[in-house]
Amino acid sequence: MSPQYALLISLLIPLTSAFNSQARFTGITGNSEYAALNSSVGGRLFKGTPIVQPCVPSKNARPGNCTEVLSEYVDEVFRTSTPGGYVVPQWETCQTTGAQCLLDYTDPFNLDPVTPPRQCRLGSIPSHFIDVRSESDVQAALQFSKRFQVPLVIKNTGHDYKGRSSAPHSLALWTHNLQNISYDPAFIPEGCSTASASVTLGAGVQWKDAYAFAESNNITLVGGSDRTVGAVGGWLQGGGHGMLSNTMGLGVDRALQFKVVTPDGQYRVANACQNQDLFFALRGGGGGTFGVVMESTVLASPQITLQVVMVAFANATDIALTRELWQTMTANGLQWAEDGWGGLATANVAIYINPKLSAEEATESMSPLIDLGKRLQSDQVEGAQVITTQFESWGTFFDWFAADNVAITGVSLAIVSRLIPKANFATAESQAELVDGLINTSIATPRVIILITAPSSYPGDNTTSVTEAWRSSLYHVTAVTTWNWNATMEDKKEAYAQASASIDNLRRITPDAAYQNEADVYEPNHEVSFWGSNYERLLEIKNKYDPGHILDCWNCVGWNRSAPQFSCYL
């Protein structure tokens, strides 16, 4: 028996009065309904529990499990493979009531946060999960949700910055174990006639596994920059950007087909030749909105050789050095985008990658950045580095990159984002204005990342539903503020406000455009920022496939802000 399956067995729900509180919430009168649901999904219904539960002092505590929790509390692989775990743990809590079961991320071995008189409470973790293995599991959950008005959420990894995969008193479809991966060098979408090399990915596949599979088949998949992000869920359905997107497109540009259970219970195939409206919606309209995607088939490209240039220095708080780095980047941004460069930068590091140029061409193209790095070295700036190298594939580069670059995990945070259009790079004046905006954002929220991941050299075919601003942008900029387990409600509100105020430095000089998966939880004018002119069409498609709004999530197309599952948002 696998350890994961053993965990599920240990969590299978006892059909007792433990569910009475949810029964009162939904109007369910007894436990027989849950017993029937459990039977209909092959006994794979289980009770939601906080990941810290094994460490709560009680006669039922299991020291072995607690040791794992404490040692892996801020590990993204552990959190994304655990039903009640979320990469950003405020979505395990009810922020309005304070109900939670969190540890101190700076010292997870300190159990004071869950020691009586403090309580370990479920917060916004779903009350029940279904370990989804087939479309029939989803169909049973949809019927149950409709009949008893139980909110439904979809969770594959919990790598979600906006809380869309958790909700209090809800039923979660845990798609993590849909791990099928297959390669077809001549895939033809159902009902179509054109063949393409492709990879089909189950809804639970994470990029670390998808990239390893691609390496073993000598192909390239365009995906995210963090190893535990789900390849098929919110990342893809929200647009999906990565360091190869400049030249090879967003994730939605490369989606060839979805297999999805729509809220009416139908198992549908959506591609360019059938259910085209649903295909459009799933290519950027947002995850957890139009249906439960079971698998997606995406374009596979031949293996590529990457040229890599990195410049770095030690002091991330030296504003003068940061300004010089960002000035160099913005002054050359348009030309580098045309040359095929993607990458990312922070206050003291810039990493650029290119799948198009030779080593000699790359050195010539990147000479302004390389020259800056060499001058920093000659000036004996602490930690100054210049690296120019080549990787034989995306997968080998990603393994090198991911070894030292992991998403913030186990820490509650407010994230904000902005797409920066080409117009901000057009003149010396607009470049100076942009650098000032970036510097002021970094002063307000020191964790600023410039993601050079817009599809600026990949025009697309005008059949995706992401905001058009992606096509005219060069940068996607994010910033975060954080808080710990003992933050008050006012502390959390202040953190969200601080993050939003920081990105105002860029909002003031750019059109309304942000990446929905990494945007401000309280993004103003979010319909335009996320979808541009596509919103009205997306709303029509939402009402067609989900007129009862069974699938509802925060800031999603057609959402109902007053729905009870949003009661834990501030």
Burial of 157 (0-12, 13-18, 19+ CB in 10 A): buried
Say which CATH architecture domain 3-174 belongs to: 2-Layer Sandwich (3.30)
Tell me: pLDDT of 401 over 70.
yes
Would you list the DSSP string of 200-243? EEETT-BHHHHHHHHHHTTEE----SSTTSBSSSHHHHT----T
Tell me: pLDDT of 7 over 70.
no
Look at strands 171-174 and 128-131 and give their pairing: parallel
Of the candidate CATH numbers 3.40.462.20, 3.40.50.300, 3.40.50.620, 3.30.420.10, the domain formed by 306-529 belongs to: 3.40.462.20
DSSP state of 515: -
Q: Please give the pLDDT value at position 16.
A: 31
Rg (CA), the chain: 23
For the chain, give every domain's residue range.
3-174, 181-303, 306-529
Q: Tell me the C-alpha distance between 160 and 518, whole Å.
A: 8
Q: Please give the pLDDT value at position 416.
A: 98
Q: CA torsion angle for 323, 326, 327, 330 (degrees, to 10)?
A: -160
Q: Please give the pLDDT value at position 57.
A: 81
Residues 391, 308: contact at Cβ < 8 Å?
Answer: yes
Q: Please give the pLDDT value at position 19.
A: 34
How confident is the model over 70-84, as a mean pLDDT?
97
CA angle 449, 454, 458 (to 5 degrees): 160
How confident is the model over 374-395, as a mean pLDDT?
98
Q: Please give the pLDDT value at position 61.
A: 56
SS3 of 400-451 = HHHCCCCCCCCCEEEEEEEEEEHHHHCCHHHHHHHHHHHHHHHHHCCEEEEE
Q: Please give the pLDDT value at position 477.
A: 98
Q: Tell me the C-alpha distance between 239 and 515, whole Å.
A: 8
Is 181-303 in CATH node 3.30.465.10? yes
pLDDT band at 65 (very low <50, low <70, confident <90, very high): confident
Mean pLDDT in the chain?
93
Tell me: pLDDT of 1 over 80.
no
Q: Which helix (H) or strand (E) holds 64?
A: helix 63-72
pLDDT in tens, 163-187: 999 999 999 999 999 999 999 999 9
Q: Decide: helix, strand or coil at residue 390.
A: strand
Percent of the chain at pLDDT exceeding 70: 94
Tell me: pLDDT of 559 over 50.
yes
Would you list the DSSP string of 104-127? -TT-TT--GGGSTTS----TTS-S
Tell me: pLDDT of 412 over 60.
yes
C-alpha separations of 532 from 421, 464, 529 in Å? 14, 12, 6
Tell me: pLDDT of 472 over 60.
yes
pLDDT in tens, 213-250: 999 999 999 999 999 999 999 999 999 999 999 999 99
pLDDT in tens, 14-33: 333 333 334 434 445 458 89
Q: Please give the pLDDT value at position 24.
A: 36
